[in-house]
Amino acid sequence: MKNSLTLRRPDDMHLHLRDGAMLAAVAPESARDFARAIIMPNLVPPVATMAQAQAYRARIMAALPKGAQFEPLMTLYLTETTDPADVEAAHLSGLVKAVKLYPAGATTNSHGGVRNFDKVMPVLEKMAEIGLPLCTHGEVTTPEVDIFDREAVFIDTVLDPLRRRLPQLRVVMEHITTEEGVAYAAQGANLGANLAATITTHHLILNRNHLLVGGIKPHYYCLPVAKREKHRLALRRAATSGHAAYFLGTDSAPHSDALKEHACGCAGCFTATNTMPLLAHVFEEDGALDRLEAFTSLNGAAFYRLPPNEARISLVKSAQATVFPPKIQSEAGPVTVFDPGFAVHWRVQP
């Protein structure tokens, strides 16, 4: 049995750092273990232009602890008025690594997102031309579609038609939660390597029973919502397969406890603090510790055409369970750290 593991420093290819007091509290949590992260642009107002991304990046850098080795990889929030020339300039400058598509109304701060795809075709065509990836929040928002079916319906009615219309567009299916998502990503990746999918830590651990049985668990509520067990198992097989189509995007999404434990609670699990030990546990359970590095440190970098990180982190396993902080404190209130509901014996060596 392996009791220690050294990996290239991981990248988190889907992260919410927020702004202001929350940014100050959570940025050090990601910088501790991760080398780089794709930073989500769903602030209020959204990070929609190159100038906004530049300013947000500066605020992130200022929030990092002294000496932190952490590079935020910026994204732009796609709106129906996004200017293709601004996107191209942001890409050419090296600042922006992706554009994020939120179907309007799909999740936290997505009301400025896309309703009519015809309006964003000029931007998407430019992105296809320059090789800039589109990160998709892959859920339809049509009220008639059941929330548990929204990902599969998005693939059939939005993503697949879009990829047929623009086969050169590079797409990341963010935080997939279904066996349909797993299968579509593999099929597309095998055909031309212009499709990939991120998988979160929490979706490898939770099914919808964890969320709903024995009382509603607001800290397990996220979007896309956790699905039934067969889907979680499909995600586990995908993540632990080592296949280049799948890589880590934690979707670590802090909200204060007051907003989570609420009559209309916010979506998001905060996993930045303990993701790497949790993933070591999951991969060990599935006999795939030797493929953890592909998932956290190689596949994502390769898709984003970045060199893998040279620095390393080490994880160690002890007989005693690791104690993670139950909450981190921020001036915006306490934030609950994701509790997997089982003992974890791995920890990152400081």
Does 251 help bind Zn ion (rule: CB under 5 A)?
yes
The answer to whether 22 contacts ligand DOR (rule: CB under 6 A) is no
Strand stretches in 78-169, DSSP E: 96-101, 134-136
- Using CB under 6 A, pick the residue from 253, 272, 298, 332 that binds ligand DOR: 253
Under rule CB under 6 A, residue 268 binds ligand DOR: yes
Catalytic residue list contains 251: yes
Q: What share of the chain is helix, strand, coil (3-state, %, to 5)?
A: 40, 15, 45
Burial of 3 by CB count in 10 Å (0-12 exposed, 13-18 middle, 19+ buried)? exposed
Shortest approach of ligand DOR to residue 73 CB, angstroms? 17
Distance of CA 207 to the CA centre of its chain: 18
When the beta carbons of 71 and 251 are compared against Zn ion, the nearer one is 251
Beta-sheet strand order (sheet of 134-136): 11-15, 36-39, 71-77, 96-101, 134-136, 171-173, 195-199, 246-248
Number of residues that bind ligand DOR (CB under 6 A): 12
Strand, coil or helix: 303: helix
107 binds, among Zn ion, ligand DOR, none (CB under 5 to 8 A by kind): ligand DOR
Q: From the list Zn ion, ligand DOR, none, which binds 108 (C-beta under 5 to 8 Å, kind-based)?
A: ligand DOR
For ligand DOR, the closer CB: 251 or 284: 251
Virtual torsion, Cα 117, 118, 119, 123, nearest 10 deg? 80
Q: Which two structure tokens, joined as six digits, stand for 170?
A: 């590079």
Identify the three-state secondary structure at position 217: coil
Q: Which of 267, 302, 306, 316 binds ligand DOR (CB under 6 A)?
A: 267
138 touches ligand DOR (CB under 6 A): no
- Determine, following the binding rule CB under 6 A, whether residue 16 of this chain makes contact with ligand DOR: yes
228-247 footprint of ligand DOR as x/- string (CB under 6 A): --------------------
Token pair for 350: 């400081």
Give the residue, chosen from 197, 205, 223, 238, that forms a contact with ligand DOR under the rule CB under 6 A.
Answer: 223
Nearest distance, CB of residue 251 and ligand DOR, angstroms? 6
- Cα 295 from Cα 197, distance rounded (Å): 11
Contacts of 222 (CB under 8 A, 6+ apart): 200, 202, 251, 253, 267, 268, 269
**Single residue of 24, 222, 235, 335 touching ligand DOR by CB under 6 A:** 222
Footprint of ligand DOR on this chain (CB under 6 A)? Answer: 16, 42, 107-108, 137, 222-223, 251, 253, 266-268
Residues of this chain that interact with Zn ion (CB under 5 A) are: 251
Residues assigned a catalytic role: 251
